[in-house]
Structure formats: structure tokens, C-alpha cells
Structure 1
């Protein structure tokens, strides 16, 4: 049996994630019990404070203090609300405790923005991790030594687990179920909780926002020009000439400032506009392709897949499925 501890850090913590952890692991134990097997997870909760304020103004009383925890195998950190600096400042002592636990061989799973705690503790230095894409730019800036893989739904390295944003944490919970029980049990839980177990990328949900928190003004002007003229066929030579920068210098400075080559940035801007059109209009894929300056369907499809993770047709089909689910849900409930 895996001794599993839900950590409640200081600050506003996600109640829904605490409930999901409890419900899924309890469901696993119940399914195992029905088959005559031993439970897989022994759950408990610890906190730095006995009284904790969760999301939606709810107060949670936790009897066990983190320093009263004698032994555990797995710690799960739910998502916290607030800015990165506040979370890390309020939880300095908790970060030190996590470092000690990891040195004892305890596995630690951080759900969504809970990854901030592992990064702040220095446990993910030079390790792959993921989190909600909306805080990716800031984390890269503050912790450049961390290998953020924002396209991934979850990561697993040296007993440290992280998940992407939104409801992606459910995929990490399913992964932990499979790792500690079986693929069959994980599949059963995916059906019970209606989670797409094989989703492995959050790329279709990432909104591209070019890095602009840098001091290179010519590069920033080039970024703005690309974003305003995405319908045109743009080239590195054209931009270098317009902003009076040598081609090689522009490419070097652009990559350093934005973490993208000039061509990659142009492609990302065009694909973001194409995605918006797929979401908001009834235009055909061919029409949208032309709107963002592409004339070769194969090239457009390949770049879209590279940036978004799926093809334009698959992306629109995904949107249609989501809309169908929204429209049919009330009827199913009646």
C-alpha cells in the first residue's frame, strides 16, 4: 500500500483538486476491495497551518502538521492561486520540508501550478517539468535552469511528477494509478471519471503570446510588425532590411529575446490566427490557410500540426465535439 499525503501549503489551494485526489484514489481502493485485493493507497492530509483557506472562501481544518508526518511514500501538491513570488515567499518553510522529504526518497507530484513549489524548492533544476501554460513565460524568466516542457500533459523524472493546467491533473492522477496498480485499473478510472487517458499534449489549448519582457527594442518592433502583418508572406531578409539589422544579427538577437527563431515566430503567429479562425468562423480550412498567407495546403497542415499538435481538420473536429457535449449535457441530465 502506498502511503499518500495531500499537502496543503499556505495560501489559497484548489478544493476541487483535493476532492478529485480523494475521490479517485478512494474509488481505486473500493474497486480493488471488490476484487478481493488489498487497497493501493492510504490517504492522509497535512498542512503547515491547522486552519487553511481554500478556493471559494471555504476553510479547511487539517489536524496533522507537516512536521508530525512520520513516514510517507508519495506527496501530492494541489494547485494554488496567487502570483509566483507570493506563493514561494509564504511557503519558504514548506519548501525546505519538501527538500528533506525528497532526500528521503519520497515521490512528489505537483498538480498544475503546484509545480511552482517544486521549482521554488530547486527540486526541478535541470529536470523536465510542465505546468499551466499561462505561467510558463514567467517561470522560464525566473528559473531558466528548469526544463519546462509546456506542450506536455505530464512529466515523470526521478520520482518528481508534474501536470499541465486545467483538468490535466486528472491525467497525472490516472498515471499514478497505473504506476501503482495496473493499466486496467487506470482505464477503469478513466471511464468512471470520464477522462481522456491518452491525451498527451496541452498544445491544442495553448494561446501563443510572444515573449516581450526583454530589452531589445528592435526585436520587439519586429515582433509587433509580424503580428500586425501575419497575412503577408514574411521573410527574415525583409524584416532585417526594414529594421536596419543584419540578417545574422537579427536571427541571433531574435532567438535570444523570444526563444524562437524568426521563422518559428512567424509560423506561431500565423497558426494562432488560423486557430482563432477555426474557433470563431465557418470558413473552410482552405480559406483560413489563404487568410494567414499560405498557398500550399501541405505546408500549412504540417506547420499547424507542429505548432498545435493536431491537424486543422482534427482541431475543428475537437471543437465540434466540445460544443456537442455542451449542447447535449442538459438533455442528458433531464
Structure 2
């Protein structure tokens, strides 16, 4: 740093400000210091800086090892928000969200010297009482219940499912069938319960639930059973991928969409507008969830306190050509 200061004709304190990204240096001086750094081959030592100020500018993410569309999109959004804030990101996949695995993941991230942790575990087990999150690091939880003291960020799963169900009822369908996601998924359970509550609130029959695993193949298998029942005129699938499999099964069975059966999905994948017919679905903003999660975590890190109310990101019904009134 002394070499850089001599080369740039500034004080060592000015070099330190530039190296640490401080804003109280005018642009011309900053450029002169940066040019001097390049000439003498100086690189700021992030490890030394972290030891000095206690901040590592690194965030850990504990994520389910089983990839899903929602987790992948949310992780992309988290990474973008983290990088925009000048932080790096360290991923720690867990195969099963048990107490041992979650605690072990925390321990490994502590060894990696992160400033905070985002937990992106879809499974219901995280909400069970035996899963206790270790203390000692700022934490934000995504897609889970709000029973923790940490900030929780989630899409409004219940309202999205209610919008989907009400849309089909408002079109005149007597009731709505449902292809649910896996029971261990918190999001899937929220959507299923909201679908059921919406039907019950409208005084409608609640049909038996078909259960899938988020994949088009599981939607196709459920769709084969539903297509064989002439009473089925409206189906809400818990994600767009299962809706895609359902559409194939209906087409193969000769049941037109939306002429005989209306279909609604959930997610609004980029491809959903190109399904045939284009899919009516519930749009959720993975980008907003990622931004809110990172903002909440950085606020915790800056204040060095556990705080923050749950953040619920709204959903939006996107009406396309896969829904219509029931046949006469």
C-alpha cells in the first residue's frame, strides 16, 4: 500500500479508502490510485480486511440437494442480489433437512467464514419442532413457516391457489380437481389447503386429490386418471410442469382444452405461454423473493440483531387460453 501511495502521490489512508470501496474519495483520485495499483501489482487482501473489520462479504446458502424449478429460480435471484451488493455466495446442499444435516451445514459455513445464511429448504421437515436452527449467524428462511425468530420470506402460496380455484369457479365450473405437489413440500401443502378451503368456502364438493412430484411425468400419470372421468371439467395443477403432463394426457384421451377441460398451473414458467394451449397460471416472482431475502439478511448483518417480520410476496393470475366456461 505504501508503494501504491508513492506511485499515486496520495496518502496511505487514501489508498486504504479506495481498497476498501469507500465512497469519500473523488473520482479522479480514485482512478489515479487504481491505476497505481495496477502498475505495482497490488491486490486488496480480502482475508486480511475481513479479519480487521469482522466482515467477510460472503453469504452462505443452505439448499435442498433435490433441485426443483422454484428453488433453482430463487437461487438464481439470490445470487444476482448477492453479487449486486458486492458479496460472494457459498452453496451448501443438504440431502435431507434433519437436525444433524442442518447443523452440519451451519458448521461448514462457519468454517468458510460467511457473514450470514439463507436457508432454502422446501421440505416440510424444516417446520417440525425437532429442527432447531443454530445461533451465531444472521439467518433468513425462504419458503417455510414463520415460527422462527429469523425473517421468513415466501410467495403468497395460499392466495395464489385461491386465485386459481376462484378463477375456475367464476367461469362456471361446478368444482375443481387438484394435482398437488409432494406432501413433504411446504409450498405444495399451502396450495392444497388453500384450494380445499376455497372450494369449501364456496360450498362446492372437494374432489379427491391427485399427488405428483412436480415433474411433467407425474402430471401425465395423474392426468390419465382425470381424463378418464367425464365429470372432470377443471383442474388446478400445483405447478406448470405437472400441468404440462396433464395437458398431454388430456390431448391423448381426446378431451379438448379448454373446450371440455380447463387447466390452471402455478409458477408462470417462461415456457408456459408456449404450451398448447397457452397455459393460464399463477405468476410468482422468484426475483422478488430473492431480493427480499438478501435485503433482510444484509439488514441483519449490518445491525447485528435477529429481527424482521415475515415478508410475503404477492402472486398474480395470468389468464391465457387453457381456461374457459364448462361445456353446456
TM-score calculated relative to the size of structure 2: 0.29
Higher helix share: 1
Structure with more relative contact order (C-alpha pairs < 8 Å, separation 6 or more): 2
Q: Choose 1 or 2 for highest CA Rg.
A: 2
TM-score calculated relative to the size of structure 1: 0.28
